[in-house]
């Protein structure tokens, strides 16, 4: 892993993201992913993947493998069924923090058919979720899964620590990730609400919904992102109701 503190502000617009559209899936990629290879856009800090996915009802990602990756899924609309080879099964929905550690290897599926697990009627709502991947501290850890409902904390406002491996977040993080240098924070904002960017060598700010103004970067709309290096303390002001995801990272993939 490498580190740098040279201050930079790099704004990435939603419309400039690579996209995968295959009928049942509309996926937009903040970084190189799948067939969308770009050697100049492989990561920021420890964040390798920030996919903005919409999956139509009754479809989804069939069983597929992962290895040596911490995968955090954040649902914005609808619900998503997770099942994996470790015997974990659950429905992920807005306000639920969820992490899967791929470790030595895991098979899992993610589908927009929550009614099959929950026992309710079929639904026709697309599911939209952000899936984020960060490297673990060590390769070859045991696969794992964790989830926790945090809707009440989000309603109270401010930054909520969704997932972290940093020791200083032990008491506040909803779920743990196996990287001591990284933390994910989320905020649901009403118009005129303000949160402040954590100080870190690397920060990734993603506007999942709505419109905000980021000090030093300007107005950001849904799907826009900013990659900050060697900065922190900037204000994020909601222009309208919004939801932001902020990765605080104290090391970088190298």
R_g (Cα) of the chain, nearest Å: 17
Per-residue model confidence as pLDDT tens digits over 44-67: 999 999 999 999 998 999 999 999
- Would the pLDDT of 1 be above 50? no
| pTM > 0.85: yes or no | yes
Burial string for 6-40 (b: 16+ CB within 10 Å, else e) reads: eeebeebebeebbeeeeeeebbbbbbbbeeeeeee
Q: Which CATH number fits domain 8-249: 3.30.1360.200, 2.60.120.10, 1.10.357.10, 1.10.150.20?
A: 2.60.120.10
Per-residue pLDDT at 4: 54
Distance CA 138, CA 45 (A): 16
* Contacts of residue 194, Cβ cutoff 8 Å, sequence gap at least 6: 235, 236, 237, 238
> Tens digit of pLDDT for each residue in 199-219?
999 999 999 999 999 999 999
Q: Is the pLDDT of residue 123 over 80?
A: no
133 pLDDT higher than 70: yes
> Above 60 in pLDDT, residue 121?
no
Which range scores top for mean pLDDT: 31-40, 56-65, 122-131, 230-239? 230-239
pLDDT at 117 over 60: no
């Amino acid at each position: 892993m490498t580190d740098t503190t040279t201050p930079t502000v790099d704004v990435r617009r939603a419309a400039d993201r690579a996209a995968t559209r295959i009928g049942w899936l509309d996926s937009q990629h903040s970084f190189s992913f799948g067939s969308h290879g770009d050697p100049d856009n492989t990561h920021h800090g420890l964040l390798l993947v920030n996919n903005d996915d919409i999956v139509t009802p009754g479809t989804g990602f069939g069983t597929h493998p992962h290895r040596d990756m911490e995968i955090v899924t954040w649902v914005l609309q609808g619900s998503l069924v997770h099942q994996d080879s470790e015997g974990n099964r659950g429905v992920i929905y807005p306000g639920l923090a969820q992490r899967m550690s791929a470790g030595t290897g895991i098979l899992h599926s993610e589908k927009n058919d929550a009614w099959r697990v929950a026992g309710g009627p079929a639904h026709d709502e697309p599911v939209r979720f952000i899936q984020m991947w960060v490297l673990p501290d060590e390769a070859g850890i045991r696969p794992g899964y964790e989830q926790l409902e945090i809707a009440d904390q989000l309603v109270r406002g401010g930054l909520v620590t969704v997932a972290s491996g940093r020791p200083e977040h032990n008491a506040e993080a909803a779920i743990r990730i196996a990287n001591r240098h990284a933390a994910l924070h989320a905020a649901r904002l009403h118009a005129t609400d303000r949160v402040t960017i954590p100080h870190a060598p690397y920060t990734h700010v993603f506007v999942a919904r709505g419109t905000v103004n980021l000090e030093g970067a300007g107005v950001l709309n849904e799907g826009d992102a900013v990659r900050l290096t060697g900065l922190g303390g900037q204000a994020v002001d909601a222009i309208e109701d919004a939801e932001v995801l902020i990765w605080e990272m104290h090391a970088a993939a190298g």
